[in-house]
Structure 1
């Protein structure tokens, strides 16, 4: 009797919860083969034309190969030669000079143009198309135009300087003239592209901020410097990163304008143009691969620097600052 009451008064055993995968039939990989087959072309193409060339270039950077004969493993000899190669460091210096004198004015002009296009003006769509048009123009046509404008003997630039009573400049034979000409090509081509990016960022800023500033008596410069620039800092850093990568990999402009030699005294020889000459003109694919990976390291260093700037300025403290904060609270 007591045992029976004990059994009847006992709480019923809880029902076993079903696992997430038990309430539906298991599907084997064979049932999903159409999905895998649909995405397979991308991975096959990436493996053949992306991953394999990258890994093969790493291997080639430790070898000596002319593209036809036997591949000879030389260890770090290519990198040791690269460190002591004055032509490589001349290409690095040219690349950084062109990048500085082109990126800084280009981004500033693009930001000003985006700010003006964001105002209530007529024919804004026509201006946007006009500013973006140089980015889709053929580089060969651009080189022909700029070669004619900045020609040493009959260029329009020297004609304008002469009309203003100034001396002519050797744009395509002087080292600094070559760098300035290439920088102007970069500015002309990419200013509209960055202006469109800035304009997209401006459209995300609430218009109430501009209206309140104008009610308080702020002029256009105060609105631009105290509202637009601070709120566009993430977009500005994005364009700085992309412009840095594009500036370090500059190739088309100097190659089409000046040829493979890079102009007089190799004043227009950039890192990628020098790598192209070594690999596809001198057929030294081992040294060309070493130059390519040196460029990758340089670009990675600048990307990390820009990323840290983005993290610190957007209110995301670094490990060092978090450690100092925790130590002070303790």
Structure 2
């Protein structure tokens, strides 16, 4: 059984993917070829943003966004401790200080009620994460940010395709940063990402920063990075965009079946009213996760943990002095979350097999 069935997806779109890649090979514009501009235009139109700037990865998208906002040493950026390492990593990489705020235990996203207390005179931005696909509470976050004249960067690595009160993830704040890593709801065949914004100045800066800070060839107005999306990856994403809405429906159908089958057995994901999710992960909570995961493996069911160690407990941030107990909701989630297979091609019998294995593993622990 596949955790994410990219093989089934490829078989569905093989002719389109192959034809689009062949066109790139024929025209030979492997860097910033016409497919890149086409993709940026279509993505911007989809989320309703004025600008889309493609990048070599979701991590580069975060970096480019931070650089465009002029954030650097001695600055602070508020974010969640319960996320993939890249979120805090890019803040630290430019010399700024990640300031963590605990999560809401239901959505796993940053708790807006704890946000204002973390703001200091050194705060330069707020970077919420739309974890597992569900957006953070951006109305509340943006309201707080506006009161303190702070930009907001949505780490939308996992949430492309999500909506929040009829608005699209990626277009909910100053800048939205998306990942196109293969396992994401919209993924390429390697690394890729993009930034969305409605600010002309930020768009221009990010366009330059992802291309060595050039505003024209060999004329560098800033110190940037080599963060361009490959043309072949843009071609793959254009093919996948053609079936994306159908895949979103497939993901939500699978999640709904999981919800029904696992009700009362484990804690299942809760998508709030007014929100939709692409279910980048379908993540449950269990006691004694290692034992449950071992039982699932023995039953031939792949699982994953997103994420076992919150950022404040990572060795590289040990000098912050924020040990165990600093962010209890993030720490509790790190011990309990378990992601099940999730993709648009899950069959009913596969969902039943997975759910039965979860029920058996949990019952085994209950009666141990």
TM-score, normalised with respect to structure 1 = 0.24
Bigger RCO of structures 1 and 2 (CA < 8 A, at least 6 apart): 1
Decide which structure has greater helix share: 1
Decide which structure has greater strand share: 2
TM-score, normalised with respect to structure 2 = 0.23
- Which of the pair has more CA radius of gyration? 1
